[in-house]
Amino acid sequence: MSAIQIIFWFLSALAIVSALMVLISKNPVHSVLWLIMVFFAISGHYILLNAQFLAIVNLIVYAGAIMVLFLFVIMLMNLNNESEPQKNVWMRLAGAVSGGCLLMILVSLVRQAIEINNKVAEMKVGDIGLIGNLGKALFKDYLVPFEISSVLFLSAMVGAIVIGKKN
Amino acid sequence: MNAIILSALLGVVMMFASVFTENKIAIRNIAIFGLLILLASNLLNIYTPYSFNVDLHNMLRFDSFGLFFNSIAIVSTLLYVILSGSDIVKVGNYPAEYFALIFFVLCGVTILSSYNSLLMLFLGVEIMSIPLYILTGSDKKNLKSNEASLKYFLMGAFSTGIMLMGIALLYGASGNFNLEMIREKTSIAEFGILAPLGLLLIFISLAFKVSAAPFHFWTPDVYDGAPSVFTSFMATIVKTAGFIAFVKLFSLRMADLGPSYAIILPVIIIATLLVGNITAVFQQSVKRMLAYSSIAQAGFMLFALYTSNDLSTEGILLYAAAYSIATIGIFGILIKMKDYTFDGYNGLAKKQPLVAATNTVFLLSLAGIPLTAGFFAKYYMLASALKSNGSALWLVIVAVLFAAVSVYYYFRVIQAMYFKDGDAETTEIDGTFKFVLVVLALLIILIGINPSILLRWYYF
Amino acid sequence: MTTLLAIDWALLTEKLILIAIIIFASLGIALYMTYGERKVAGILQDRPGPNRAGPFGIFQPFADGLKLIMKEEIIPDTSNKALFILGPGLAMSAALMTCAVVPWGDHVELFGRNIALQIADINVGILYVFAVVSVGVYGIMIGGWASNNKFSLLAALRGASQAISYELAMGLSLIAVLMTTGTLQLGEIVKQQMAPGHLWNIAYQPLAFIIFLVCAFAECNRTPFDLPEAESELNQGYHQEYSSMKLGFYLFSEYINMFISSAIMVTLFFGGYDVPFLNESLLSPNIAALVGIIALMTKIVCFIFFFMWVRWTIPRFRYDQLMNLGWKKLVPLALANMLITGAVILLWFNK
C-alpha cells in the first residue's frame, strides 16, 4: 500500500463517516460542522487527483462561505433537539426503505458498470487541474457556458434583492 | 444566439429602467418594446444571416426547431405582457425587477431550445428556474406565496441535484458533455449501465420540471400559491420550454435506455394523465383546477417523447403555441376575477360577454374541441404515436378517454359563466385587455382551422 | 534513502523541522507582539507601558502567559463542551496554517542540501491563504455559539459576517494584483519583484494594496473593525465565557493573524524578502537568505507597528458603517481597480 492509497482510504472513510454523522447528529450545528468535514475530505480527494485549484475553491466557496451562512442561520434560529418536529414513525420507515432501495439499485448498477470495472482512479497524474490549464480550458473551450453562467448569477442577485429588500 | 444575448441584455436594461423611472406603465412599455426587439432579433437569426457570431465550441446548436420555438416563446411572452402587464406591476414594489427576471427566464428558455451540451442544459434549466423561485415568492406579504416559493425552491434544488448526478454519470460513461459525442460513444454495443442510469436521472429531473407524475406534487401548491400573473407565465412558456429541452435530449436516445424506456414512458404518461385529469375534476378553485389541468396537458405533451418523427416535432411546437396562448388567456381573465372559485365565474357572460366568449374559446382549446388549436395539437401528438408504433393504440385510446374527462372540468367554467346566475365580480377591465383577448381567441381559431398557418413558418 | 511508503523521508524531516521552526517563531513573535502592543500604546498615550518584569519590562509576555496558564479553567455548565474546546483550537490552527505558503527566504544550503525557506510553494498559494482565512471564521463562530451566551453569539455572528464581507473585497483587490503577476505562487511573486528593472507591486497596484490593507484589518478583527469584541456593546465579545489558556489561544491567534497578514502583505506588495538596491545573487546563498529574512522581518515589524498605531489612534466603526464600507465602498472600488487593470493590460501590454 502506497502512501497515496493510505491517504485515499483515510479520506474516503472520513468523507463517508462525516456524511453519515451529518444525518445522524441531532444537533443541527453539529450536522453543519460534520458537513464541513465532508468538504475537507473531498478537497483532499481533489488534491490527490492533482486538482489543486478545485480543492481550494471547494474550501473557499463551500466551507468558507456557504457553510458559514448555514451556520449563521441555524445559530440565529436557535434550532436544537427540542424544537425539531417529531416525525411520524411510518414516514421515517417509508423514507428509509425507499432511500435504501435507491442506494441498493445505484450500488448494484455501479458495481456492474463495465465502464468502471477493474479500473483504478489515476492519482497524481494529469495537469488539467492546475490553475493555468484550468483557466485556459475555461476561457477557450468553455467560454460560452462560463459567460452564460453570469446570467444565472445576475438573476440570482436580482432575486435576492427583490426578496430580501425591505419595502 | 441573438435571443440568448439580447434577452440577458434586456434583463439588465429592465434592471436599470427602475433607476430612471418610477412609472409602472412606462416600465411595462419598455418591456413590451424589449420583447419586440427580441422577437425581431430572433427572426433575423432564423431568416437572415444576421446573428451574433460567437465561437460556440459546439455547445449550442441553432436549428430551425429551437429557433422556431424561441419565436413561439417570445410571442407568447409578448402577448402575456400586453395582456397581464398591468397586473405584473401591481404584484409588489419592484415592477422593473419582475420584468428583468422574466427576461432572464427567457434567456434560459432560449438556451434550452438550442443546447447541444449537457452543460448548457444544466445552465439553461437553472437560469430558467432561479428567477421563477423569486417570482413565485414575490408577493412577500402572502404566506401562501412564501410557502410556494420555498417549496418550489427546495424541490427544484433537489431535482437539480438529481440532474447533476445524471450528467456526471453520463460524463463518466462518455467522457464528454456534447450530445452527439455522448450519443456516439454510448451507442456502440459495448456501453455499460452508466449511460442509461445517467439518462434516467436526467429524465427524472426534467419530468419534475414539466410536472409529470409522479414528480408533480409541487405543481398545485406552487401554481396556487404564486401570484396569478406569474403562475400564468410558469404554466405556459416555462413549461413548454421544459418540454422542448426534454424532446431535444430524448428524441434520439430512446434506444439507449433499452426496453425499460418503453415501459417507463407509457407508465408516466398514463400516471400524469390520470393524476391531472381526475384530480382536476374535484377542485373548487379555478386556479387550482388549472394547475392540475396543466399536469394533464403535460401528459399529452409527453407523447412527443414517446415517438420521434416529423409529426411529433411539429406537434410539440403546435402544442406549445396552442397551450401557451390559451392558458395565457385563461389566466389573464382569472387574474381579473375577484373570486377564484367556480362560483366566482357565475354570470360572467351577462356582465362581460366578450370576456366570457373568449374564455370559452380558450377552454375549448384546452379541452381539444375541433376548430380550436388545441384539437390539432392533441391530434398531432396522438397521430405521431400511432404513426411510429401501431401497438401504441391502447395508449392513444387511454389518452382520448382522459381528454373526454377533461371536458368535464373545462365545461364547468363555461357552465358557470353562461348557465348560472350570479354576480361575477371582476376588477376593472379595459379596452386593450379585451382587444388582446380577441386577438388570442382569433389566433386559436385560426390555428384550429388551419395549423399550417403556424407550421409553415417552421419550414420557411 | 529508504523507500518505505515511497516517501522521501529526508524531505519530510526537513519540512517538519522547518514547520516547527516557523510555528515556534510565529508563537514567539506573537508573544512579543503583546508586549509591543502595550509598549506602543504606552508611547502613544504618553505613559511608560509595562516596565516591571525585567529591563524595560521585556519579560512581561512570559508573566502574562504564566498568568493565563495558571488561571482557573472554567467551562460553563450549559455550554456545548466539545465545541467549546474546539473553538479556540480551530482559531489557533487556522492562524498558524497560513504560514505554510509564505516564502520566508530564498533557500539555505545546509549539510549539502538545498533547503527552500518556504514550506510549500503550491501553485494556488494565495488561494490557499484565502481558504484558511475563510475557515478561520469557524473558530470565532463555534466558540461564540458553544458558550451559550447571547453576547458571545451576537459577537460571533458579527465576526462571521464581517469576515465574509471583507473577504470579498480582499479577493477582488487581489485579482488585480494577480493580473499583473500572472501567477498565484507566492514564491514566484516575490521573485518577480526581485527581478532587476521590476518595482515592488505596490508601485503597480497602490489601490489594491489599500483595499487589501483595510480588509486585512477587518479579517484580523483589529480596531477600527474589532466589532466582535466590542466591549462597550457586547460585554467582551465572542470569548466572554473563556478563561485561562483557551482565552489565551483566542488572544494569541489574533496576534498571529496580524503577523501572518503582515507577512502576506509584505510578500504581495513589498517584495517579500527582497532588499532594495541589493543584488542578492552576488552573495552566498546562506548570507542572502539571512539578509532576506532580516529584511522580511523588518518590513513585517513595520506593518505590525502600523496595526498597533491604528488601533490606538482610530475609534471603532459602528456596525452599519462597517458593512457600508465593505459592500458599498470597497467592493465597487476593488471592481473598478480590477477593470482598469484589465483594460490597461489588454490595451498596452497585449502583444
Model confidence at B438, pLDDT cuts 50, 70, 90, reads very high
Dihedral Cα A55, A59, A60, A66, nearest 10 deg: 140
Residue B256 has pLDDT above 70, yes or no: no
**What is the per-residue pLDDT for C48?**
83
- Which chain C residue is nearest to residue A72, measuring alpha carbons? C157
Shared domain for B113 and B250, answered yes or no, is yes
Cell 413548454 locates to: B240
Higher-confidence residue of A2 and B227: namely B227
Predicted confidence at residue B154, as pLDDT, reads 92
Does C56 fall in a domain? no
Q: Say how far apart CA C275 and CA C263 lie, in whole Å.
A: 15
Does the beta-carbon distance from B57 to A143 stay under 8 Å?
A: yes
Residue of A nearest to B116 (CA): A145
pLDDT reported for residue B164 = 93
The verdict on residue B427 lying in a domain is yes
In the DSSP assignment, the letter for residue A50 is T
Task: Report which of residues B321 and C229 the model is more confident about.
Answer: B321
Chain A positions touching C188 (Cβ under 8 A) are none
Q: B210, B239, B257 — which closes off a domain? A: B257
Q: Does C167 touch chain A (CB under 8 A)?
A: yes
Residue B339 resides in a domain: yes
Residue C298 domain-assigned (yes or no):
yes
* Residue B152 domain flag: yes
Residue B102, in any domain of the structure: yes
- Would the pLDDT of C2 be above 50? no
**Grid cell digits, residue A165:** 429588500
CB-CB neighbors (< 8 A) of B55 in chain A: 143-144
The whole-number pLDDT of residue B259 equals: 59
Q: Choose the weakest-confidence range: B283-287, B320-324, C110-114.
A: C110-114
pLDDT of residue B219 exceeding 80, the answer is yes
Which candidate from A143, A144, A158 shows the least CB-CB separation from B100? A158
- Residues C135-147, mean pLDDT to the nearest whole number: 84
Q: How much of chain C, in percent, has pLDDT values that exceed 90? A: 3
Same domain, B241 and B359: no
Which residue on chain A is closest to C82 by alpha carbon?
Answer: A30
Residue in the block written with cell 534513502: C1
- Mean predicted confidence (pLDDT) in B420-437: 85
C325 pLDDT more than 90: no
- Give the pLDDT band of residue B186 (cuts 50, 70, 90): low
What's this model's pTM, rounded to 2 decimal places?
0.88
Residue B30 is assigned to a structural domain of this protein: yes
- Helix A28-48 × helix A3-24 angle, to 10°: 160
Res. C1 pLDDT band, cuts 50 70 90: very low
Contact across the interface for C137 and A60, Cβ inside 8 Å:
no
Decide if B136 is inside a domain.
yes
Identify the residue among C141, C149, C152 best suited for mutation to test binding to A, counting A beta carbons within 10 A and taking the highest.
C141
**What is the average pLDDT across B412-439?**
87
Instruction: For residue C165, tell me if it sits in a domain.
Output: yes
Average pLDDT value for residue range B27-42: 91
Contact B12 A154 (CB under 8 A): yes
Give how many domains chain B has, as a whole number. 2
φ and ψ at residue B60, rounded to 5 degrees:
-125, 150
Domain boundary among B203, B225, B257: B257
In a domain, C193, yes or no: yes
Question: For residue B75, is pLDDT > 70?
Answer: yes
The residues in C 82-101 lying below 8 A from A, measured between CB atoms, are 83
From the list C123, C157, C184, the residue facing A75 with the nearest CB is C157
Contact B163, B213 (CB under 8 A): no
Contact B303, B230 (CB under 8 A): no
Task: Write the DSSP symbol of residue C73.
Answer: P
Domain contains B357: yes
Taking alpha carbons only, the member of C331, C340, C316, C350 closest to residue C165 is C331
B45, B148 contact by CB (below 8 A): no
What is the amino acid identity at position C282?
A: L
**Domain-located, residue B239:** yes
Show the domain range for B362: 267-460
Q: Which residue of C has its CA nearest to A6?
A: C5
Residue B19: pLDDT over 80: yes
Q: What is the pLDDT of residue B147?
A: 92
Chain segment B131-156, per-residue pLDDT in tens = 999 999 888 888 989 999 999 999 99
Q: Which positions 96-155 of A are in contact with B (Cβ < 8 Å)?
A: 106, 109-110, 112-116, 141-145, 148-149, 151-152, 154-155
Rounded Cα distance, B193 and C162, in Å: 49
Instruction: Between B375 and B46, name the one with better pLDDT.
Output: B375
**A162 with B134: Cβ contact below 8 A:** yes
Instruction: State residue B266's pLDDT score.
Output: 86
Give the minimum alpha-carbon distance from A43 to chain B in angstroms, rounded to a whole number.
Answer: 18
Average pLDDT rounded to a whole number, residues C298-326:
86
Is residue C253 scored above 80 in pLDDT? Answer: yes
Same domain, B85 and B8: yes
CB contact under 8 A, C131 and A65: no
Q: What is the mean pLDDT of chain B?
A: 87
In a domain, C240, yes or no: yes
Q: In chain B, what is the straight-line distance between the N-terminal and C-terminal CA atoms, in Å?
A: 19
Rounded CA Rg of chain C:
21
Is residue B222 located within the same domain as residue B284?
A: no
Do B290 and B426 share a domain, yes or no?
yes
pLDDT on residue C40: 85
Q: Is residue C174, in this structure, part of any structural domain at all?
A: yes
Domain count, chain C: 1
For B286-307, the pLDDT digits (tens) are 999 999 999 999 999 988 888 7
| Pairwise CB contact (< 8 Å): A65 & C5 | no
**For chain A, how are helix, strand and coil distributed in percent, rounded to 5?**
75, 0, 25
pLDDT of residue B260: 65
Report the range of poorest mean pLDDT among B255-264, B377-386, B437-446: B255-264
Q: Would you say residue C119 has pLDDT above 50?
A: yes
**Cβ atoms C165, C215 nearer than 8 A:** no
CA distances from B263 to B202, B259, B394, B400 (A): 17, 7, 14, 20
Contact flag B97-A158 (C-beta cutoff 8 Å):
yes
Question: What are the tens digits of pLDDT across the range B105-134?
Answer: 999 999 999 888 899 999 999 999 999 999
Last residue in a domain, options B193, B223, B257: B257
Instruction: Report CB contact under 8 Å: B120, A163.
Output: no
* Whether pLDDT at B223 is above 80: yes
Mean pLDDT of chain C: 83
Return the number of other C-beta atoms located less than 10 Å from residue C251's C-beta: 19
CATH fold of A3-81+121-128 reads Four Helix Bundle (Hemerythrin (Met), subunit A) (1.20.120)
Nearest partner of B224 among B284, B306, B269, judged by Cα: B284
Say whether pLDDT at A19 is over 90. yes
- pLDDT, position C166: 87
**Contact residues, chain A, for B104 at CB < 8 Å:** 151, 154-155, 158
- Say if residue B241 is in the same domain as residue B275: no
d(CA A22, CA A39): 12
Partner-chain contact C83 A33, CB within 8 Å: yes
Instruction: Determine B/A contact with 3+ CB pairs under 8 A as the test.
Output: yes
Q: Are B271 and B207 found together in one domain?
A: no
A82-123 pLDDT, tens digit each? 666 667 788 889 988 999 998 888 788 777 776 666 767 666
Q: So what's the pLDDT on residue B177?
A: 86
**B4, B14, B54, B57: best to mutate for the A interface, most A CBs within 10 A:** B57
User: Taking CB atoms and an 8 Å cut-off, how many pairs form between chains A and C?
Assistant: 74
Q: Which partners does chain B have (≥3 C-beta pairs < 8 Å)?
A: A
